[in-house]
């Protein structure tokens, strides 16, 4: 795909946010906070960073993108539709019976998702396995894994982090959505993660920190991460949950609550 420039990527991110609001309002359920917060990163991935082909989704040389925190899959569906994997109109079938756009990623229904996910902690292990397999097969693609900060409450996450360091998987890039919320409150109240950055460094990973809603920082972070060698890489992306919709921003209550008709109308006016 042709890479978009900085300003084009910002516009795409806004389009993705609009898609998410429409999808969740139509479905009557879903997870808006994380989806809106990660719109800038998904815009960068699908329209600039990933080596992929929407017309040949299972192209052997593609980069692999694993969405471990599967509840924010609406933003991935929006990015896939807008980049040409399927018609944008299909987004309105989110969570409908028989639709491939399940509430959490279903590899069976849509193989381009790379793996099914939803149970937190499992996607990171899948990503490590795919990166290790690529190394063993001398394949050159990158494996990207998007994981939430709350997901780091799971022991399996840390087992995967240790395994990646053991095998020096420098073809693996984690993106941690550090939005400080989870389904029942703020992360530092539920299960404190600080000092998260230092933990990754002690586990022998290359560490980068970015503003996950600043497109310039996002692009620079990915470029740098791809160049680092000898260790797995993690990008701690500080994002605003609900980004772009003021009444949702930084409110954990919007983790898993879809907007009703009036709320969706207000959100769309703000994003217009």
All structural domains of the chain with their residue ranges? 6-271
CATH superfamily of 6-271: Thiamin diphosphate (ThDP)-binding fold, Pyr/PP domains (3.40.50.970)
Residue 120 confidence (pLDDT) above 90: no
How buried is 122 (Cβ within 10 angstroms: 0-12 exposed, 13-18 middle, 19+ buried)?
A: buried
- The 10s digit of each residue's pLDDT in 216-265 is 999 999 999 999 999 999 999 999 999 999 999 999 999 999 999 999 99
Is residue 2 very low, low, confident or very high in pLDDT (cuts 50, 70, 90)? confident
Is residue 13 very low, low, confident or very high in pLDDT (cuts 50, 70, 90)? very high
pLDDT of residue 213: 98
Nearest alpha carbon to residue 8 among 213, 215, 221: 215
pLDDT of residue 1: 74
Whether the Cβ atoms of residue 27 and residue 35 lie closer than 8 Å to each other:
no
Instruction: Name the 3-class secondary structure at 172.
Output: strand
pLDDT of residue 119: 84
Give the pTM. Answer: 0.97
pLDDT of residue 171: 98
């Amino acid at each position: 795909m042709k890479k978009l420039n900085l300003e084009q990527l910002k516009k795409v991110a806004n389009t993705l946010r609009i898609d998410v609001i429409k999808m969740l309002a139509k479905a009557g359920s879903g997870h808006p906070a994380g989806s809106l917060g990660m719109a800038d990163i998904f815009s960068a991935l699908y329209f600039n960073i990933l080596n992929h082909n929407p017309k040949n989704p299972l192209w052997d040389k593609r980069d692999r993108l694993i969405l471990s925190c599967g509840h924010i899959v609406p933003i991935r569906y929006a990015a896939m539709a807008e980049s040409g994997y399927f018609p944008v109109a299909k987004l309105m079938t989110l969570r409908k019976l028989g639709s491939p756009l399940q509430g959490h990623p279903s590899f069976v229904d849509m193989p381009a998702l790379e793996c099914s996910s939803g149970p937190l902690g499992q996607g990171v292990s899948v990503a490590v396995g795919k990166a290790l397999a690529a190394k063993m097969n001398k394949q050159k693609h990158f494996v990207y894994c998007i994981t939430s900060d709350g997901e780091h409450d799971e022991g399996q996450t840390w087992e995967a982090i240790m395994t990646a360091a053991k095998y020096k998987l420098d073809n693996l890039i984690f993106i941690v959505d550090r939005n400080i919320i989870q389904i029942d409150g703020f992360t530092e109240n539920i299960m404190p993660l600080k000092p998260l950055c230092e933990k990754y460094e002690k586990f022998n990973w290359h560490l980068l920190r970015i503003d996950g809603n600043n497109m310039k920082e996002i692009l620079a972070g990915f470029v740098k991460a791809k160049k680092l060698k000898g260790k797995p890489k993690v990008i701690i992306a500080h994002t605003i949950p609900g980004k772009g919709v003021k009444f949702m921003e930084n409110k954990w209550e919007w983790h898993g609550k879809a907007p009703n008709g009036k709320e969706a109308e207000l959100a769309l006016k703000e994003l217009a």
